[in-house]
Amino acid sequence: MSVTAKICGLSTPDTLDAAVRYGARHIGLVFFPPSPRDVDFDRARGLAARVPGHVGVVGVFVDPDDSLVDAAVSAGALDVLQLHRTAPDRVAALKRRTGLETWAAVAVKTRTDLAAARGFVGAADRILYDAKTPEGAALPGGMGLRFDWALLDGYSHPLPWALSGGLDPDNVAAAVGRTGATLVDVSSGVESAPGVKDVDRIARFLQAVLHL
């Protein structure tokens, strides 16, 4: 089984270069001002210019309007839209508008939360299972929370999928072993502080994935 990784919430050249150097298949740029990982369009443009062709650039959004997506796509040379707290019909509309691959985040705390994934059939290209954040939380992810991976036991996934939520260099192997994920997504698990990526942790995470 080949496992690939996305390093999300990158905002500096040195950490982006580290993600590419150590083997990330995707990098994520966050376009959501409440997040400590938010990047403006000028920074996104500079970062995207450093990404080689074999690495996908994912724009991360929270129920965005058309103008934000249009500006981000133009600035960030995006390959994928990753959409949080976004209804299936809106995901489908953004896919049509941009022509880009779409990933829809499904927030998970209980087994019944997985049912939301089926609503994205025909709208999204991939489901991203992420940990559900506390009620009223400003951020939909990137808080270091994980859900019980056993919730995915025996689940029939309606679409290709990725695993997110509380992953780090020390638990990613166990996460993949339990769930069978072939794409893993990390943000806070490779940080030294919220929004501050750590080159050594990025390297450790990607080396752990490489050896799966």
Query: Is the pLDDT at 141 greater than 60, yes or no?
Result: no
- As given in the structure block, the two tokens for residue 23 are 């083997």
Instruction: Give percent of the chain above pLDDT 70.
Output: 94
Class of domain 4-210: alpha beta
Averaged pLDDT of the chain: 94
Instruction: Tell the burial category of 52 from Cβ atoms under 10 Å away from its Cβ (0-12, 13-18, 19+).
Output: exposed
Would residue 14 show up in a list of annotated catalytic residues for this protein?
A: no
CA dihedral angle for residue 113, residue 114, residue 120, residue 126, rounded to 10 degrees: 130
Of 59-73, 122-136, 167-181, the range with the lowest mean pLDDT is 122-136
Query: Within 13 Å, how many C-alpha atoms sit on residue 3's CB side?
Result: 22
What mean pLDDT is predicted for residues 136-144? 59
Would residue 65 show up in a list of annotated catalytic residues for this protein?
A: no
The secondary structure of residue 123, as a DSSP letter, is: T
Q: State which H helix or E strand residue 84 sits in.
A: strand 80-84
Query: Is the pLDDT at 68 greater than 90, yes or no?
Result: yes
At residue 1 the predicted structure's pLDDT band, cuts being 50, 70 and 90, is low
Q: What angle do CA 205, 207, 208 make, to 5 degrees?
A: 65
What mean pLDDT is predicted for residues 163-182? 97
Domain boundaries, the chain: 4-210
Instruction: Supply the pLDDT for residue 139.
Output: 60
Query: Is the pLDDT at 138 greater than 60, yes or no?
Result: no
Instruction: Supply the pLDDT for residue 136.
Output: 58
Q: pTM for the complete prediction?
A: 0.94
Taking residue 145's Cβ as centre, other Cβ atoms within 10 Å add up to: 17
- Check residues 138 and 206 and name the one with the higher pLDDT: 206
Give every CB contact of residue 122 below 8 A, 6+ residues apart in sequence: 88, 92
What mean pLDDT is predicted for residues 167-192? 97
**Catalytic residue of the set 38, 42, 89, 130:** 130
